[in-house]
Structure 1
Amino acid sequence: MEDRDSFLRELIRLEGRSCLTTCAGCKTTEVAMYRCDDCLAVDLYCKTCILLQHGNQPVHLVKEWTGAYWVRRSLKELGLTIQLGHSAGETCYLPKIPYADDFVILHSNGIHSVALRFCGCETADTPAQQLLRYRLFPASTQQPRTAATFNLLDEFHLLSLESKISAYHYYNSLSRRVNNSGLSPSKDRYEQFMRMVREWRHLKVLKRSGRGHDPDGVDRTQEGQCAVLCPACPQPGKNIPDDWCKVHKEKQWLYALFVAIDANFRLKRRAISNDKIDPSLSRGWSYFVEELSYKLYLREHANLRQEKSMCSSHSAVNGVESKSTEGLAATGAGSVCCARHEMKLPCSVGDLQKGERYINMDYLFFSALRNTSIKVFNVSYDIACQWTVHLWERMITLPNPMHLAYNDSKINMLIPKFHLPAHVAECQWKYSFNFIKGMGRTDGEAPERGWSTLNAAASSAKEMGPGHRRDTLDDLIGDGNWKKLIGLGEMIYRKIVEAVPERNDHQEDLREFENSLKERYSTQLSQWRADVVAWENDMSKPNPFEIKSNAVTQASIRLQLARDEIDLPDTALIHTDISPSVLISMGIDLEEQQRRLRADSEKQGIHATDQQKAKLLQRSNGLLRRIEAWTNVQTLYIPSVASLRVKAALNSEQVQRPESFRLWLPSALRRQVPCDVNLEEIEWKLRTGQAHDALEELRQALRSRAYMLRFKDRFLRGQGATTRARNSLKSVDMKVDASAAKYRAAYGALSALSPLLGKVGWATTFRPLEKEDIRSMTHGTEDRPTEGRRRLSWIWLTCGYTDGTQADEGLQDAIRLEWCKARARANRWAEEVELLVEEQRRTLQFLRWQSDWWLERQALIMTDDPALQEGLKAYALRQAALRQDLANHFEHIWRNTQSYIEAGGGISTDNPIAVEYHSG
């Protein structure tokens, strides 16, 4: 701010001649009236010198001094003519090629009208070729009148990939560069610009994929041949050993292909144009499937009805028929990508015509896998539980080249980790990445992260014709794949730094857990290990992660009591509508409502608004009425309770508030007055269910809090985001406190009833809930805070079972399940380290294979044109060197990872990677 006056003066100073009057070229003074805004220097030139200076810069912005101020002048107005094919002194203009006096060039500094001469010799190249050799891209091959510089097309190409800027807005910015007043608008070449951009994208893809080096020419390009492949995924013949099929069964998971399927409903396309008017420039050469075959298959199977979901009500399954298609040619797009590195697979993307139908997703899935010989597939899909039901029957309807030899392959169907909680319990242990061998720490959510890049272009792609849209999205996907490829070095490095300590911590945790079990459960531990290994080798066997005992809940107890009371004689029911079990259930519910009202009253504070006070008073009045109605029925079953209430009222000078009103359930009476033992037994059962419910609610709240804390620490920055996160954590903390209070009430009642009913053994399941017991599964106690030495709180080892005789068996089942999960965590982290080491090796081998592949390209085509021959060789050598440089760069990044892994991730002078990482 201190210097802005001087900066402003310098800008205004340039509005004059800067005290210059002499031509920088010929040193004359009278005619030095021209200056170029695109050249760095502010020298003045005469007309002759400015033209000589810009013989090869015909689109620079030149200004003329009028004697008072600068005005814009084009070099064409000053007499500059562009001569193609020959130098200006060797003009060979012939009538057969007209003089292009109004030729328009699109340059990054604006839209310019220029005078241009084509070479007219009999041996001259076509006008389009002459322009291309001048690094001008023609808008037409026949009598071109518009061209764009290569630099402009490169600039827009990169801008569209990085910022997703539309061609419309970019073109308008060019129009305003030359004249921003609107008084002299540039000639409209928007349609020509769109055509040139689309062709430029296409040619870049062909060039980078080596199609210009193929003797068979571009038309012989095969489907998927222009895609950027993932170097870290197993590619037979490119980056895995030749005998990979013979590897030991225990290591086959290292050569598995991880793929993830998903649909995106933001990538819509309006019903604009059609494939005949706007065809794609490629035919399934990159990521989109070949359109004719795809639509033919969809048309032939359009009448297939999709079965409804038998899991949760997934909108992707059940909402297909109701998906609105009005005004849309495509309601979205589906794709298949590698689940570990987020790169789209060749021939794996296609439009969706009416939601996420199986026939669309089947075609894309089998299209993506048809050219691989890999035998182990880990397939992630958020509706995998439904999609796989009749998958192989539907596969038969696809063209034969797409059929997968699934009988000779191992295919693991999984559900992404974030989506899994929305499924029923059976899916959560059957399709989990956490439990299945060979998954490492893959989460299956790769498509969700990949869509974010394409979604930025959704609004402009929505208005495109079908071919233009496919070509544009192909280009965007290819750019995304390339950026992920060059980022593999840092990504794998970062994952190794994280995975090694995690592996060690979880393995130590498993050892500690097993040591604590050996004294009491040594025999069972051997059986559990045998069971889980058997299931890992043959997943048709019983799943060890399935909960085998049915947990008790308050709702299940109430249902059982209601069934028991069906056969009671009418004489046993004192009240016609309210049975003994209903009476006690209602009392426990009222007790819960009292706790909530009391907590909300304490939370309200002294500065509550009138509206808040009114709502709380309404709740209080409603609770009081419910209590009064309940106590009237209670006195029928326990008449002596009336005397206790009268005595309490006489001893108290204050009127009891609803939240502090004593309900005198059997556990509170402690047989101070006569009470039916049947009522005590009913309360015992209901309190048991209440205790299990409270513990389950407490565990869920602790899991939510642990996840939110991890998310906050990892992703949230800034005061606003942190404040919102703290408010969310407060609500979770309130749930933790409420669940703890609910459990303590149930535990207190059980403690009071157990001596009255002679109940024993229940204390091994339920224990007093102390403050230090309320901690997440990953947190240790203060005296054992580290991951390797922590002990699970007892709340994670307790679950409910159908009756008292199953208590010990149920406890074993809970411990077995926790041991299986601890073992799975340790194994998954160990697998992750192995996978990352293998991915390092595969990436380096792939890049070197691809470098050799490019070296072979340099001599595939032999031509009589020495300039073309040199270009073919130069480009092939440059691409080969680029792959070799990438391999060397990655190797340098990973130079210390092996010693880091062997040392277990510890920080020492022998571990440079750990020192570097932990020092920031």
Structure 2
Amino acid sequence: MDCYDESLYCKQYMVDSHARTPFHRIEHWTEARFFARVSLKALGLRIQLGHDLGRTCLNPSRAKGDAFVIIDATGIHEVGLNFCDCQTKQPMTVQLLQRGLFPSTVTNPQTAATFHLLDLFQMLSMEGQVSAFEFYKSITRLTDKTQLDPPRDRYAQFLRMSREWRHLLQLKRSARGHHPDGAEGTQPGELAVLCPACPQPGINLPNEIDGHDSWWHALFIGIDANFRLKRKNVSNDILDPGLSRGWGYFVEDTAYQAHVTSDETPIEKSSCVSHKAVNDADKRPAKGLVVNGVGTVECTRHDFKRLLSVGDLRYGERYVNMDYIFFSSIKTVASKIPRIIASYNIACQWHINLWRRMDSLPTHLQYTAAQDSITTLVPKFHLPAHISTCQSRFSFNYTLGVGRTDREAPERGWDYLNPAANQTKEMGPGSRRELLEDLMGDRNWKKTIGMGNTLLRRMKEAVPECSTHTENHRELEAQIEEATITEWRTMVEIWKSDRSKPNPYMVETTALSQDAIRLHLSDLEAATLASGTLVMLHDEMTPSMFVSTGVDLEQQQHQLLVSLRGLGQHATDHQRLAVVNRANTLRTRITNFYDVQKLYCPAAFVLVSQANSTNEASSNVTEDVARLALCLPSSFKTASGCSTELREIEWQLRYAQAHDALNDIRAGLHLRVSVFRHKDRFDRGQRALTRAMGNISRVQARIDEAIQHYCIAYAALQILSRFVQHDGIWRGELAELKSEDIRGLGVVEMDNSEGHHTISWIWRTAGVAEAAGTDTDLHSSLRLEWCKSQARALRWSEEVSLLKEEMRRVLAFLTWQAAWWEGQVGQRDLPELITEGLDAYARRQADMRIRLAASFAAKWASVPAFLSLHNPLDTAGSDSRSTDV
């Protein structure tokens, strides 16, 4: 059934022809006139072990050879084995291994699996996350789909063989068979696959590191925890201790658990937002679980799992666990790497007492290098969840020498481990760690062989991005006085050396937002309400709530008009229904607002009636809702008709509304410029251009809405300022918004030359900068834009330099590793046949690294020419000098 031949043969020919393929499935023609399964053993085939097929064993009758079971990819077979029993015989296990059969035990084995089967299962478990049970059931079904004559159950033996196979391959690929000390001499972490692009002391780092270039040789690592990789309480370390004892990616579990269980330090209170990782640090496992998840440390630039960097979490993401695996991961390079960039989702909290907690760690994990050699940051995706202070202080975007990767590698790294969660949660501790380590090693190896394409792709992205952002930054600097740039550059340098100084990457606002103003007004009313002096004409709505509600209704009316205009002629009933429902809800709210308005501002009732009667009723009653007059205090042009208190409240709200609108306009203009530049430089073809124009339209709609809000707020401020006592500073902050004022930074007017180009007042106005500045002082938002622009250009410049250095390190690592494998030749004094096999394997591994390095070098051959287009930002602290590739 498995031969490439459909002819019928006699019994004897079938036996003779399958001497070298003894695990094919055979069917024979029965007296009942149909084909039925029959074993080669039943036909008389016997497998001779210990001798070549052409030789006859002098004494082939070895015990239990007739009751042997072989598990192969074609099924589970009972075979007849002739073990050699000559004077020169080898042990039964050796005889089986010489024929590609892996024995289930080392003493009188009765079951074996073919190497091909074990290799196939390992590959399916890594690529398809196939469990051992699923794989074994598939083999049994291939043997007999009807289960009328099921094969002998060998599932337990298969589990044991597959575990030993994984472990032996790890030892083999780490050259433990070549080392005189063998497997027992394996050192911690020695079975891990190292990242060739990371700095590896003594391998791909220069012997002497220039202090100016030390940032090139930083190690980037990320810390994270995964709570999907749980484990049920189904076994223990005594029953299932595992074959590897801290030799790969997991830390040695005995010492690790002894440390984490002895530490009873309470969890520190968060000074940032309420992070779940901090709050749930002491969360106990659910019923029936003994492990909640795993903590890990990864190389964040290349997505490699680091050696001795994984540990089980019995509770939550406790610092005692994460500290242990962090210092375990870096202990081999701690004193040899000039800088370590450590990213963690809660780095702002974790780093606070890190060095005090380190003192409680075992001596061999103590960090002996300077503490300032470790920089702690927060990954980019997680950073917006932090408070504003943390967002700038722990940002990769504003840190020197970190390039442009996002440091979210630990999150992406779980995609190849999480699918195995269903099977690992049912395993014992040893078998679970071995499976996860096998998956980690396979992932690292695939990343290694893909390093040529990965670094080339990143370089192709980094060079044009660097040129683009450098050019944009230079265009921005051309509009600013040199003295101002020097002042800002000094401010940035001071902040980088001392984070307690004013942060140039944060906007120092003097104008409060609408929400802040409303909170302030509510606090004042709460105080007067407590003292009994607040005059409330409505049981549930205070004066500030009344005015705030009117401002909100005004914005909702504008949004309703926008939605109506966006319906078009062929809108669906579902789209029209949504707009009509919004209009009906808004009409109800306006009616309720009128009822309160009669109490706080009776004169407004007359104005409302007159305005609504003069407005021509349209044929669309839904649109009429958006045109209902609200008559807020700014509607009164004379001193009578409205109290000063209500006017003061609206003035403050309108003042905040104007600044909020200006912020939205500036953000929209900056985004519009970026979208236009990307479209002009990169988008080609109808599909790409259509998508780009759609993005531009959406951005423009946001800008138009912000402009409308600003114009309404500014008109109200002009009227209210006649009746409320405020200084004239706000007129220096806000001005009438004209069409020519609405332009982004770096955009030149069509009717002005570059020499006469000026920056719109919206980028120079006070309100985000110091309110007391003169007309020539640039707004702090312009300073913020300059700082961010410089940071973007610097990070891309650094990325190119880091990629060049990483390419050099990869080739140096592979060259070293090839020489290392060559050095394994002749290491052991063993019989000639074994030594010959060991030496051949070492030479093969060396040749593999040489060819891999050659293929990378060929792919990167065009990089020097490509780098001729490199346009770095040559700024203090960033070096654009080339590195030979």
TM-score, normalisation: structure 2: 0.87
Structure 1 counterpart of 2:471 = 508
Residue type matched to 1:55 in 2?
Answer: A
Matched residue type, 1:831: E
Tell me if structure 1 keeps the 8 A contact 2:48–2:60: no
Q: 1:772·1:781 contact (CA, 8 Å) conserved in 2?
A: no
Q: How far 1:156 moved relative to its partner?
A: 1.1
1:158 correspondence with 2:158: no
CA distance in 2, matches of 1:69, 1:652: 94
CA distance in 1, matches of 2:477, 2:692: 37
Alignment of 1:456 with 2:451, yes or no, is: no
- 1:696 positional shift: 4.1
Contact 1:417 1:443 in 2 (8 A): yes
Q: Whole-Å Cα distance in 1 between the matches of residues 349 and 533 of structure 2? A: 52
CA distance in 1, matches of 2:448, 2:102: 30
Which residue of the partner structure matches residue 803 of structure 2?
Answer: 836
Q: Say which SS state the counterpart of residue 343 (structure 2) adopts.
A: strand
Letter in 2 for 1:79: G
Question: Within the alignment, does 1:359 sit opposite 2:314 as a pair?
Answer: no
Deviations 1:674-722 (A, max 9, x none): 766776555333212012223445667889999999999xxxxxxxxxx
* Mapping 1:534-613, distance limit 5 Å: 534-537=494-497, 539=499, 541-559=501-519, 584-599=547-562, 607-608=573-574, 612=578
CA contact (8 A) 1:375 1:408 kept: no
Please state whether the residue corresponding to 1:386 is helix, strand or coil: helix
Offset at residue 272 of structure 1 (A): 0.9
- From 253, 258, 269, the counterpart of 2:215: 253
In structure 2, the partner of 1:280 is 242
The structural deviation recorded for 1:358 is: 1.0
Structure 2 distance, partners of 1:834, 1:163, is 38
1:529-577 deviations in whole A, cap 9, x for unaligned?
1221333355565432233344421233345556778799999969598
Aligned equivalents of 1:729 and 1:270: distance in 2?
A: 53
2:26 is matched with 62
Whole-Å separation in 1 of the counterparts to 2:227 and 2:536: 61
Question: What amino acid does structure 2 have at the position aligned with 1:820?
Answer: C
Indicate how the Cα distance of structure 1 residues 191 and 652 shifts in structure 2: closer, same or farther if over 3 A, else same.
Answer: closer
Change (3 A) 1:404 1:791: farther
| CA positional deviation for 1:782 | 11
Corresponding residue of 1:524:
484
2:441 matched residue in structure 1: 478
SS in 1 for 2:441: helix
Q: What is the match of residue 447 of structure 1?
A: 410
Using the TM superposition, name which of 599-608 and 833-842 deviates more.
599-608
Per-residue CA deviation, residues 486-512 of structure 1 (Å, 9 max, x unaligned), is: 111000000110100111111111111
Kindly state the Cα deviation for residue 484 of structure 1 after the two structures are TM-superposed: 0.5
1:311 is the counterpart of 2:311:
no
CA contact (8 A) 2:323 2:358 kept: yes
Q: How does 1:595-634 map to 2 (within 5 A)?
A: 595-599=558-562, 607-608=573-574, 612=578, 615-616=581-582, 619-634=585-600
* Residue in structure 2 matched with residue 291 of structure 1 by the alignment: 253
Cα offset for 1:806?
A: 6.1
Residue 313 of structure 2 corresponds to residue 339 of structure 1:
no
Output the amino acid matched with 1:762. Answer: R
Instruction: Note closer, same or farther for the CA distance 1:44–1:724 as it changes in structure 2 (3 Å cut).
Output: farther
Counterpart Cα distance in 1 of 2:371 and 2:614: 83
1:494-893 aligned at under 5 Å gives the runs 494-518=457-481, 522-537=482-497, 539=499, 541-559=501-519, 584-599=547-562, 607-608=573-574, 612=578, 615-616=581-582, 619-636=585-602, 639=603, 641=604, 643-645=606-608, 647-648=610-611, 651=614, 658-671=625-638, 680=647, 682-696=649-663, 738-750=705-717, 752=719, 759=728, 762=731, 765=734, 768=737, 773=742, 800-801=767-768, 804-805=771-772, 812-863=779-830, 865-893=831-859
Please state whether the residue corresponding to 1:379 is helix, strand or coil: strand
Higher mean C-alpha deviation, range 262-271 or range 803-812: 803-812
Q: Secondary structure at the match of 2:779?
A: helix
CA distance in 2: counterparts of 1:792 and 1:854, whole angstroms = 64
Q: Deviations over 1:331-367 (max 9, x none)?
A: 1111101110010110001111111111111111011
Distance in 1 between residues matched to 2:592 and 2:233, nearest whole Å: 60
Give the gaps of 5 or more residues in structure 1. Answer: 1-36, 713-722, 785-789, 907-920
C-alpha distance in structure 2 between counterparts of 1:468 and 1:792, whole Å: 66
| C-alpha distance 453-670 of structure 1, shift in aligned 2 (>3 A) | same
Q: Aligned partners of 2:675, 2:176: CA distance in 1, in Å? A: 49
Hey, what does 2:14 align to over in structure 1? Answer: 50
Alignment partners' CA distance in 2, 1:539 and 1:608? 54
Q: In structure 2, the residue corresponding to 1:468 is in which secondary structure?
A: helix
Query: Which amino acid in 1 is paired with 2:188?
Result: E
Alignment match, 1:900: 866
Q: Structure 1: how far apart are the matches of 2:174 and 2:801?
A: 31
* 2:73/2:117 contact within 8 Å kept: yes
Is the contact made by 1:288 and 1:347 (CA closer than 8 Å) also made in structure 2? yes
Secondary structure (helix, strand or coil) at the match of 1:213 reads: coil
Give the Å deviation of 1:899. Answer: 1.3
In 2, are the aligned partners of 1:552 and 1:801 still within 8 Å (CA)?
no
The residue type equivalent to 1:856 in the other structure is G
The corresponding residue for 1:176 is: 141
Do the aligned residues in 2 keep the contact of 1:754 with 1:760 (CA within 8 Å)? Answer: no
Q: Indicate conservation of the 8 Å contact 1:740/1:769, yes or no.
A: no
One-letter code aligned to 1:510? H
**Secondary structure at 1:298 match in 2:** helix
Contact 2:665 2:706 in 1 (8 A): yes
Deviates more, 1:672-681 or 1:419-428: 672-681
With over 3 angstroms needed to count, the CA separation of the structure-2 counterparts of 1:541 and 1:632, relative to structure 1, is: closer
Q: SS in structure 2 opposite 1:334?
A: strand
Q: What CA distance in whole angstroms lies between the structure 1 residues aligned with 2:675 and 2:144?
A: 54
Is the partner of 2:397 in helix, strand or coil?
A: coil
Distance 2:677 2:296 in 1: 30
How many pairs does the alignment contain? 843
3-state SS in 2 of match to 1:504: helix
Q: Which amino acid aligns with 1:321?
A: D
The answer to which of 597-606 and 561-570 deviates more is 561-570
Deviation larger for 407-416 or 365-374: 407-416
Q: 1:623 to 1:234 in 2, by over 3 A?
A: same
CA contact (8 A) 1:384 1:414 kept: yes
Deviates more, 1:370-379 or 1:406-415: 406-415
For 1:187 and 1:724, locate their aligned partners in 2 and report how far apart those are by CA, in whole Å: 62
1:433 equivalenced with 2:433 (yes/no):
no
Q: State the distance in 2 between where 1:332 and 1:644 align.
A: 66
Q: Secondary structure at the match of 1:261?
A: strand
* Cα distance in structure 1, aligned partners of 2:297 and 2:120: 30
C-alpha RMSD of the superposition: 3.9
Counterparts in 2 of 1:539 and 1:874: CA distance versus 1, 3 Å: farther
Q: Whole-Å Cα distance in 2 between the matches of residues 845 and 729 of structure 1?
A: 47
SS at match of 2:228: coil
- Cα pair 1:287 1:348 within 8 Å, conserved: yes
Displacement of 1:750:
3.5
Range with bigger deviation, 369-378 or 475-484: 369-378
Q: Percent identity?
A: 42
CA, structure 1 residues 653+543, in 2 after alignment: closer, same or farther (shift >3 Å)? closer
- After superposition, the C-alpha distances for 1:216-261 in whole angstroms (9 at most, x for unaligned) are 11111110001000010001100010002xx12x322111100000
**Alpha carbons of structure 1 residues 444 and 780: separation in structure 2 relative to 1, 3 Å:** farther
Determine the C-alpha separation between the residues in 2 that align with 1:51 and 1:273: 46
Matched AA of 1:626: N
Q: CA 1:126–1:807 in structure 2 vs 1: closer, same or farther (change >3 Å)? A: farther
Unaligned 5+ runs, structure 2: 680-689, 752-756, 873-885
One-letter amino acid matched to 1:236: P
Structure-1 residue corresponding to 2:183: 218
Deviations 1:814-835 (A, max 9, x none): 2211111110000000000000
Q: Greater shift after overlay, 38-47 or 124-133?
A: 38-47
